[in-house]
Chain A
Amino acid sequence: MTLSVVPAARDALDALAVPARPRVDPHDVVVPDGYRVEVVVVGLSFPTGMGIAPDGTVFLLEGGSTWPTRPYLPARVLRLTPDGHLDAIGEEPLGGPRGVAVHDGGLFVSDKGGYTSRIVRYDLASGERSVVVDGLPDGGWHEPGGPVFGPDGLMYFGQGSVSQNGVVLPQGFTVDLAKHPHAHDVPGQDVTLTGNNVQSYDPTSPYPYYVETGAFKPFGVPATPGEVVRGELKCSSGVWRCRPDGTGLELLAWGVRNPYGMAFGDDGGLYVSDNDYEETGDRAIANDPDRIWRIRTADLPHGSVSTPDWFGFPDICGDGLPVWHESHLPRRGTPAKPLLQDPPPWAGPAIYLDKPHSCMTKMDFCRSDAFGHRGRLFACEWGTLAPINSPRPEDPEHGFKVVAVDVGTGTAIDFAHNDRPGPASALGTAGLERPVDCAFSPDGRSLYLLDFGVARVEEAGMFAFAHTGVLWRITAGESV
């Protein structure tokens, strides 16, 4: 796999060949005094995650089919060595990689694609690739999360929900129905359904055929009141751990809608980011905050979790209120009804809530006094998809930044952002577009910030432009 990699003079960043992102300029990224912002790599296509080895090598993932799912570009696993050599060590199948971690001579990559997600391992010495976990239910909207490695040496990872809002519906059907018509959510515990099916039109039918769809069912399949759906170890909206070879798989939690970001704190706790419901369509839910959960079952000894914690999907919002609560009634779309009879106890509250549609993604704890903010959880906010997923005029400004969260107080400061809310392409600046991952260098002085690039959102659709991804680096002790 040959890459075309060219070192660029600084002025080249003012006249890039990609019209969607013709300039990148560290001066347009606002950070606190005492930090220096640099551009490391420009031209990445739909980057989704990164991991850093102890020697400072940065592994970058180009996501392949991402958000939206077209166009597809090669789902490459890239390696950037400390001396600045960039190459590709692998290419994942259609769907693509979403997260990566380095552990004990292996590179562990979470992959989406087809009806399932998986974790694969590259042996960094031989390049050999093997699948260590497979069969996580997907084929829908949300992502595999992690992997990350805990202080116990175990691998922790997640898998988001198949449906957007608890039932497979036709909104944005190119992601699921067109390619995976049989996809559906799977609970992590036995659940009894209310039978509150959702009515919608079938966009795949020659006529606008009216269908009813139930929770944990493929599109067009209704549930019956009182129906019991068995929980499965490999569920959707789940968080697991296992040994690095995939054995000893244990479900820690479920009901986490999109556990894309995962990180361990100095307290040994596992923290997971999660995204809010959409205010659109036939089960519309408004004003659901983005959030970070602490997965308390991760504190228990491996193999001892008999009942996973439940964090609310598909019936509870991030604030602990049911999706049919008056504060979550939508301005557009059909209000949601309960899907679960006698749901499990809610494992909240969240340790941090952010604005709806901030789209919190990956994150890392600062463990260094050299960088400052030691103990803070640095979390990326990819940014809103409004007006597609929200009609509210304030929502298009949410996200597009990196926040530093105090997990003790549940508060945060904006750490890296543009001078105004929104992506650079909308503001006419050369700063941040959509931060998707951040990770600290092994020496603790620098925060690498992976920027997905330009994804333009309009009422009529969403368009993501390849070759607009950027790897930034923010280093302490040096002013711009």
Chain B
Amino acid sequence: MTPINQPLLLDIDEQTRSGQLDRVDRWLATTRLLQAGYRQLLDDTVGDIAEPHLRSYLGELRDVAREHEGRVDDLHRAFAREPTQPGTVRTVGASLLGKARQALGHVEGAAAGATSGSWRKLRELLLSNLDAIAGYAVTEQLGLALGVPAVVDVTFPVVRRKTQDQLLLQEYLLEMASNAILLDKDL
């Protein structure tokens, strides 16, 4: 009983892989956009914060966010693809995403009775970072699903750090909420 005389490759032929990697490229573009939107929000927020500790923390988050944005190029390379070139669409997309979040935050914050612009931005940073965490975490799943350890080497520390940052954002959002809503004080 040894008629099977040639190994079979299951779902790992060139054509199948190539099609899946094309889809990964599109997801990485989404990840980059989400992270760039988050970084853009930080860029727009840090200078407006008067509270010195919070300004310092957010400044650090902005530096880290820039670094994480650059890691998307590493993810393309990990998947053996060329990074997409920076372009108008990408830059404008991130800017638009950031502005859209700010607008949404303004409406939602105002509806909640908070006129503090910086506190509302803090709230949008929380949502924006959560979105960006998902971008990298989903990329990690794609790396695992395609058997690419180099992807995990990039994503795992990024997701871990961004998850820590999320805790920081959440704590300050909550800590300053009473000032922003009850006392109408800015940060």
Contacts and interface: CB of A to CB of B under 8 A. Distances in A.
A85 B23 CA distance: 29
B84 to A, nearest CB: 21
Contact of B8 (A40, A71, A82, A445): A40
Contact of B7 (A17, A39, A45): A39
A4 B18 CA distance: 13
B149 A13 contact: no
B176 interface: no
Interface stretch (B27-35, B64-72, B140-148): B140-148
**Taking each of B1, B8, B10, B11, which has the highest tally of chain A beta carbons within 10 Å of its own beta carbon?**
B10
Interface of A is mostly: loop
Nearest to B174: A206
B141 A70 contact: yes
Nearest to A44: B10
Contacts of A443: 1
Nearest to A62: B10
Interface stretch (A212-220, A331-339, A464-472): A464-472
A247 B180 CA distance: 65
A461 B12 contact: no
**Taking each of A19, A56, A86, which has the highest tally of chain B beta carbons within 10 Å of its own beta carbon?**
A19
Contact of B9 (A6, A56, A475): A6
Contacts, number: 122
B4 A17 contact: no
Interface string B9-26: 111111111000000000
B54 interface: no
Given A3-B10, A17-B12, A82 B3 contact: yes
A463 B144 contact: yes
Interface residues of A, number: 50
Nearest to B15: A4
B172 interface: no
Contact of A40 (B4, B152, B160): B4
A377 B14 CA distance: 40
A6 B8 contact: yes
Contact of A82 (B4, B142, B149): B4
A233 interface: no
A12 B12 CA distance: 11
A3 B156 contact: no
B11 A468 contact: no
Contact of B149 (A6, A40, A80, A463): A463
B10 A20 contact: no
A246 B141 CA distance: 37
Contacts of A4: 10-11, 13, 15-16
B4 A465 contact: no
B6 interface: yes
Contacts of B11: 3-4, 43, 45, 467
B13 A6 contact: yes
Given A71-B141, A454-B147, A42 B4 contact: no
Contact of B147 (A5, A19, A56, A473): A19
B147 to A, nearest CB: 4
Contact of A20 (B4, B17, B147): B147
Given A18-B147, A19-B149, A8 B8 contact: yes
Contacts of B16: 4
B8 A5 contact: yes
B2 interface: yes
B130 interface: no
A39 B6 CA distance: 8
Interface in A119-166: none
Given A56-B1, A82-B1, A442-B1, A41 B145 contact: no
A8 B7 CA distance: 5
Given A70-B144, A71-B144, A465-B144, A41 B8 contact: yes
Contacts of A17: 12-14, 17
A20 B5 CA distance: 25
Contact of A446 (B2, B13, B144, B147): B2
B23 to A, nearest CB: 14
A469 to B, nearest CB: 9
Nearest to A4: B16
B150 interface: yes
A7 B8 contact: yes
B112 to A, nearest CB: 20
A84 interface: yes
A145 to B, nearest CB: 26
Contacts of B2: 445-446, 473, 475
28 contacts: A7-B7, A9-B6, A12-B7, A12-B9, A16-B9, A17-B14, A19-B148, A19-B149, A19-B150, A21-B147, A40-B8, A41-B7, A42-B9, A43-B11, A45-B145, A56-B1, A71-B144, A80-B4, A84-B8, A86-B10, A442-B1, A454-B149, A463-B144, A463-B152, A465-B144, A465-B147, A465-B149, A473-B2
9 closest cross-chain pairs (CB), A and B: A43-B10, A18-B147, A20-B147, A43-B12, A71-B141, A465-B147, A6-B13, A39-B7, A4-B16
Given A8-B6, A20-B148, A82-B4, 7 more contacts: A6-B9, A7-B8, A17-B13, A43-B12, A84-B3, A84-B4, A460-B160
